[in-house]
Each structure stands twice: as C-alpha cells, then as structure tokens.
Amino acid sequence: MKSTISKPKIRHYSVKQLSYFYLISKPTFHRWLEPHQQHIGERNGNYYTSAQVEKIFLVLGIPPLLNN
C-alpha cells in the first residue's frame, strides 16, 4: 500500500482560521508570529495572502489540523 504525503492547501486565511488550525487562541497566534513579522509582512485587511500563509507554515510548521 502506498502512502502519500499531502501538502496542505495554500490559500488566504484569516487569523481566526489559522489559530484554529494550530489549536491555539488568537492572542497566542499573534505572539507566535511577532518574531517573524518582518519576514511574513503585514496582512491586508482580515486575511494573510497565500504567499504569507506559505511563510507562516515554513516558520511555524504545518498546523496539526492540516497535517494529514
């Protein structure tokens, strides 16, 4: 039986969605991102862009709820 590693879908997400994926609160998620804000960049409106989400996944790892 072959096992395949699926990559999570990279698209725009809100802070609420991302904090849910990481199983943490929104304030904790903001604290986790604070040291990496220069690299990730400011979000526009309520969503991080797909490029920013990819950077978040690189610095924080793949969220448990998206890691199949």
The answer as to whether 30 is a domain residue is yes
Q: Which domain holds residue 52?
A: 13-60
DSSP codes, 13-27:
EEHHHHHHHTTS-HH
pLDDT given for residue 24 in this prediction: 96
The answer as to whether 7 is a domain residue is no
Measured CA to CA, the distance from residue 51 to residue 47 in angstroms comes to 11
- The pLDDT tens digits for 14-64 are 999 999 999 999 999 999 999 999 999 999 899 999 999 999 999 999 998
**pTM, entire model:** 0.84
The answer as to whether 22 is a domain residue is yes
The answer as to whether 5 is a domain residue is no
Three-state SS at 35 = helix
Q: Compare 68 and 42 and report the one with higher pLDDT.
A: 42
Q: How many domains does the chain have?
A: 1
The answer as to whether 66 is a domain residue is no
Give Dmax (Cα) for the chain.
45
The answer as to whether 27 is a domain residue is yes
